[in-house]
Each structure stands twice: as structure tokens, then as C-alpha cells.
Amino acid sequence: MAKNDRTEEKLAEYRAKRDVSRSGEPEAGAGQDGDTPCFVIQKHDAGNLHYDFRLEVDGVLKSWAVPKGPSTDPRDKRLAIATEDHPLDYAGFEGVIPEGEYGAGTVLIWDHGAYENITWKEDGLRPMAEAFETGHALVWLHGEKLCGGYALQRIDDDEGQWLLVKMDDDAADARRNPVSTEPLSVTSGRDLDDIAEEEQDS
Ligand code: MN
């Protein structure tokens, strides 16, 4: 199967859940494969506030909804619920999904950057797709707010439940709490209210 066909297949659920002509979200196209894979964390106020953690893997953004958001304290185990793969273009999406659409609410690009796969096995790196199948993946983030290692550990396959945990490295900081102290968008400098108001005015 060609790579683009596989991407299309992975994005079938994304497409089925929304009408992008109404929601204003990116189309489920193939997007651009970069040299280094990217990650994005989107703060999403959809009635229930959560953070969507997305990692570029094989042409799509693997995605998890993290209700409490990521922590910089290695002692925190943050629940991360696996959600449908998103198109690569979604990493640049910030705005308001209109009332009545899937995920209606405001989306803010809370952090982004490149990441590295650091999931080692005996004889080298385990490819990301394989790591997610086994239920254990380690990534090294190069974000503006989040840096260093993070572990994703699956705890319940049926429910799609994972834990997102900061690894104990130089970027670990039990006192920082960036989710509350650094709320603004890394691309526009806006907060959720700014984004919502601006879109209503336009
Ligand atoms: Mn979301």
C-alpha cells in the first residue's frame, strides 16, 4: 500500500468526525513530512478544558487528550486518552471550532517544536509506530515550554488510557507548573479569551 493511502486510512476517523468546511479545521490531506518530526500541544477549551498532545509519526499526528496537561514534575503521572490521528497541518491550527461542531470550542497552540524518539531496545531505536504498539514510548521534546524526556505508558488498551510522565533529567522541575504559569499561545501570544473574542468579531 502506498504511503499516501495509509495516511488516508489513518485519517478516516478524523474525517468522519467533522465537516472541515464548517469547523474551519485543516483538511485531512497528506500534509508535509518534515526532516525532523514535530510535536504540538494544543490547549483546547471544549467545555471541558484539556491539552491535546500530538506527535508526528509516519505522516500523521498521533494524539492524546491530557485533561490536566503535561507536568515538569517526574512524580506526576498525567492521564492521556488516545484520540484519533490528526493531519500534520493540524499542528498549525489555532482558532475557534464553531458551536455544534465536533470539539466545539477554542484551540490555542500551547507548545510546539521538534522531538526525537529515544525509545531504545537491545539493538537500537524502536521505531515510534512499534513503540506505540507495545504501549511504551520515550520522546525527547525540543519545545518552547517543555524540553527533555517524556514517557508515554499505556495502562488500558481497551479504554485507550496512557500515562504521560516527565523523565528525571535536567529539564525536570517540580516547582515550575507551566500549565498554570505559562498559559499563552507560543505562536500568537494570545490567551483563550483573546482567540475567542477575535474570532467572534471577524
Ligand atoms: Mn481536544
pLDDT in tens, 35-48: 789 999 999 999 89
Domain extent for 52: 3-201
Say how many Å lie between the CA of residue 103 and the centre of ligand 1: 6
Say how many Å lie between the CA of residue 106 and the centre of ligand 1: 9
Tell me the whole-structure pTM to 2 decimals: 0.94
Say how many Å lie between the CA of residue 18 and the centre of ligand 1: 13
- Residues 34 and 83: their CA atoms lie apart, in Å, by 23
Q: Which residues contact 69 (CB under 8 A, 6 or more apart)?
A: 41, 43, 50, 51, 78, 110, 179
Question: In the predicted model, what is the mean pLDDT of the chain?
Answer: 94
From the list 20, 14, 135, the residue with the least C-alpha distance to 85 is: 14
Task: Give residue 38's pLDDT.
Answer: 97
Say how many Å lie between the CA of residue 43 and the centre of ligand 1: 8
Say how many Å lie between the CA of residue 5 and the centre of ligand 1: 25
* Burial zone of 188 (CB within 10 Å; 0-12 exposed, 13-18 middle, 19+ buried): middle
Say how many Å lie between the CA of residue 94 and the centre of ligand 1: 12
Task: Give residue 186's pLDDT.
Answer: 98
Say how many Å lie between the CA of residue 123 and the centre of ligand 1: 36
Domain total of the chain: 1
Task: Give residue 7's pLDDT.
Answer: 87
Task: Give residue 8's pLDDT.
Answer: 86
What residues of the chain score a pLDDT lower than 70? Answer: 1-3, 30-34, 201-202
Task: Give residue 136's pLDDT.
Answer: 97
Task: Give residue 59's pLDDT.
Answer: 93
Task: Give residue 34's pLDDT.
Answer: 62
Task: Give residue 202's pLDDT.
Answer: 62
Say how many Å lie between the CA of residue 116 and the centre of ligand 1: 23
Say how many Å lie between the CA of residue 197 and the centre of ligand 1: 19
Say how many Å lie between the CA of residue 105 and the centre of ligand 1: 9
| Chain segment 139-170, per-residue pLDDT in tens | 999 999 999 999 999 999 899 999 999 999 99
Say how many Å lie between the CA of residue 44 and the centre of ligand 1: 5
Residue type, 68: K
Task: Give residue 33's pLDDT.
Answer: 64
What sign for the dihedral angle of Cα 125, 136, 159, 49?
A: negative
Say how many Å lie between the CA of residue 46 and the centre of ligand 1: 7
Q: Is-contact 70 166, C-beta < 8 A?
A: yes
